[in-house]
Amino acid sequence: MDFSGVLVGLGNPGPTYDGTRHNCGFAFVEGLLRAVAQDGGDVQEVSGSKFSCRLWRVRSQLLGGIWLAAMPQTYMNLSGQCVQPLLAWHKVSPAQLVVAHDELDIPPGELRFKLGGGNAGHNGLKSITQQLGTPDFYRLRIGIGRPPARGDVSNWVLGRPASDDQAHIDEALERALKVVFAFADKGLDAAVRACKPPKEKTTREKPDKA
């Protein structure tokens, strides 16, 4: 079967990590599956044990074809041990891969979409790059911000956001769906434009009639 692409959301498996900043990629995949099902698309969970992941086959007009969606169960720093065999088995190139992940260098509520680049200390991206032998795959970067006062990064990414930050992240995850749908439809430039939050509408009060 020919696939249009593979969407991988990064995170750590198990209830201990549910809702943590580091699991934004998992949250994205979960939201994608819900959105496709609600739109009338076909979502089928298939065996991912061979690739150490939870795996779905997704057919949707929103994505313009059939995609695979995966959540690695290897823990973050070994994500490449899932992604490389997953792509190799299904004969999908790194250029057809989109990885959704948390990003310290972007404020909560903001998104970026790009092809290639460095790993910025993200162990999941580092593992994928090493295993694939190339950094040239697409990244959907979901902002979580940095800890205040130079706090410990490990505790920050494995912690849960405060309510205000969580609200911003939830809004960004909703917008992230539109980013990926735009990418599937029209490519990189459209995805980059879709990352921008909508402009707030301002209404002017009409003066009272004399």
Query: What residues are labeled active site?
Result: 22
Amino acid at 83: V
Structure tokens given for 98: 């989109």
For 61-121, list the strands marked E by DSSP.
Answer: 65-72, 97-103, 111-115
Residue whose C-alpha is closest to residue 82's, from 36, 130, 118: 130
What are phi and psi for residue 133, nearest 5 degrees? Answer: 80, 15
Instruction: State how far the Cα of 57 lies from the Cα of 1, in Å rounded to an integer.
Output: 11
Instruction: State how far the Cα of 68 lies from the Cα of 4, in Å rounded to an integer.
Output: 8
Residue with tokens 């990418």: 183
Within 10 Å of residue 62's Cβ, how many Cβ atoms? 18
